[in-house]
Amino acid sequence: MYRTIAALFLLLASVASSSAQDLSPSVWQGQRGSLLKVLGADSASGNFTGVFIGGPGGLCPGVPYELAGQRRGPRFVFQTSRSYIARSDCPVTTVGSGRFVSPTTVAIRWIATYAGPNGRPVRVRGEEIFQRI
């Protein structure tokens, strides 16, 4: 009985570890043209880092943002930020969560926050499907 439980535990740990490793490196393209590049992932913690590049129809097309997140099984959360401001008109922070629909497709819900013309925070919500390319 104990051997069966131990074997099952090791199998589940192996599957979780390999699915986290599959995340890095990878490039995902959103249906609106944005890119999400995962450059590093830690299989033990589920943490990942990378770059998000805004799509042509977004608030800041072509602008790169630092990406940090964590994956737990099929679900993950992330945040984008800019530690440097190359373009002062694009200081947008985005937080999001998503889930794997398949090994090559993720569905994401996000909230982008930026300063409006009056200086007050403006929040934009959205959903997007990303395909691994």
CA-based nearest residue to 97, from 111, 108, 113, 112: 108
The CATH number of whichever domain residue 67 belongs to comes to: 2.40.128.30
Number of domains in the chain: 1
CA-based nearest residue to 48, from 33, 62, 64, 37: 37
Give yes or no for residue 49 having a pLDDT over 60: yes
pLDDT, tens digit, 9 for 90 and up, residues 99-115: 999 999 999 999 999 88
If pLDDT is split at 50, 70 and 90, which confidence band does 60 have? confident
Question: In this structure, are residues 60 and 89 in contact, taking their beta carbons and an 8 Å threshold?
Answer: yes
Average pLDDT over the chain reads 82
- The amino acid at 71: R
pLDDT, tens digit, 9 for 90 and up, residues 15-48: 343 444 467 899 999 999 999 999 999 989 999 9
The whole domain housing 17 covers 2-132
